[in-house]
Amino acid sequence: MEQKKILYIAQEITPYLDETPMGSFARLLPQIVQEAGDDVRVFMPKYGTINERRHQLHEVIRLSGINIIVNDTDCQLLIKVASVPQTRIQVYFIDNKEFFQRKSQFGIEEKYGNDTAERSIFFFRGVFEAIKRLRWIPDIIHCTGWFAALAPLYLHTLYKDDPDIGKAKVVYTPFDTEVTGDITEKLFDILAFDNLKGDWVAPLQGAYDPEALRRIAINYSDGVILPAEEAGKWTSAKYAKQLGKPILSYPGMQKEQADDYRQFYNSLLQ
């Protein structure tokens, strides 16, 4: 099977946070796909709860220092990297002093107010800018979790003509049971600042909870990969079926299943 470049954008990855089904999925899938022959890059947020010394994170100076505008505010991008023990996987971390150097993953701090939506958009836009600076053009962009759920919308709109990431096929993996944060209706103002309103945000159906975010992610994705045997019963999976999206039911997470994922990715590129 021909080698592909696959970008993974994950809300969380084991072992950098407490182990969860999502963290394990986002940790194991890149590894088995890479070991089967594909070229992967992996990104997650650098939450303040991550111990940089224990996990040996260090800043990638050549990727840092970009300013990203979120809701008319300049936000400086910091990129850090660490190696997953006993693997060849490196994880890049998106960081910013105001957005991520906090005491919890999604908790609201009085000093900042509820800026969860801004943090989410800064996260995946930071990934896009880092990839562009790496001059590494992905064939597939695979997003996992509600915190990365707006990335497919932005790829379909603001980045659709981008020479580095605009041609990639987008895959989304929903988790109906995940650590969630509180987003307010301010999300619609932030999206409108990027000229994303009206029909573009219709899949949200006026809502801004994690289920609505998963819905818009599926709407703008080229395919959906389910992360558990029972996932076919989840609301998000039923929504993907209603839309007629290509779906890969969970095949397992052993080396032997790597080609199931790779063949699904390839099917979207044909």
CA distance 65 to 125: 14
100, 119 Cβ separation under 8 angstroms:
yes
Question: 173 lies in which domain range?
Answer: 5-269
Give, in order, the Cα–Cα distances in Å from 115 to each of 3, 93, 267.
Answer: 39, 19, 38
Can you list the alpha helix ranges (DSSP code H) found in 20-84?
21-35, 52-55
Residue 63, pLDDT score: 85
State the chain's mean pLDDT as an integer: 91
- Identity at 185, one-letter amino acid code: E
Q: Which of 63, 174, 171 is nearest to 126 (CA)?
A: 63
Residue 238, helix vs strand vs coil = helix
- Mean pLDDT value of segment 95-123: 75
How many domains does the chain fold into? 1
Condensed to tens digits (0 to 9), the pLDDT of residues 260-270 reads 999 999 999 99
Indicate the DSSP class of residue 73: E
Q: What are phi and psi of 125, to 5 degrees?
A: -70, -30
CA distance 90 to 84: 6
CA distance 250 to 35: 19
Q: Which of 13, 20, 32 is nearest to 253 (CA)?
A: 32
Residue 202, pLDDT score: 95
Q: Which residues pair with 171 in a beta bridge?
A: 142, 223
164, 139 Cβ separation under 8 angstroms:
no
56, 84 Cβ separation under 8 angstroms:
no
Condensed to tens digits (0 to 9), the pLDDT of residues 187-206 reads 999 999 999 999 999 999 99
Query: Treating both helix axes as pointing N-terminal to C-terminal, what angle do 186-193 and 116-134 enclose, rounded to 10 degrees?
Result: 30
Residue 33 has pLDDT above 60, yes or no: yes
pLDDT classification of 225: cutoffs 50, 70, 90: very high
- What is the domain-level CATH number for residue 61? 3.40.50.2000
130, 122 Cβ separation under 8 angstroms:
no
Q: Which residues contact 270 (CB under 8 A, 6 or more apart)?
A: none
Residue 172 tokens, joined: 């989304």
pTM attached to this predicted model: 0.94
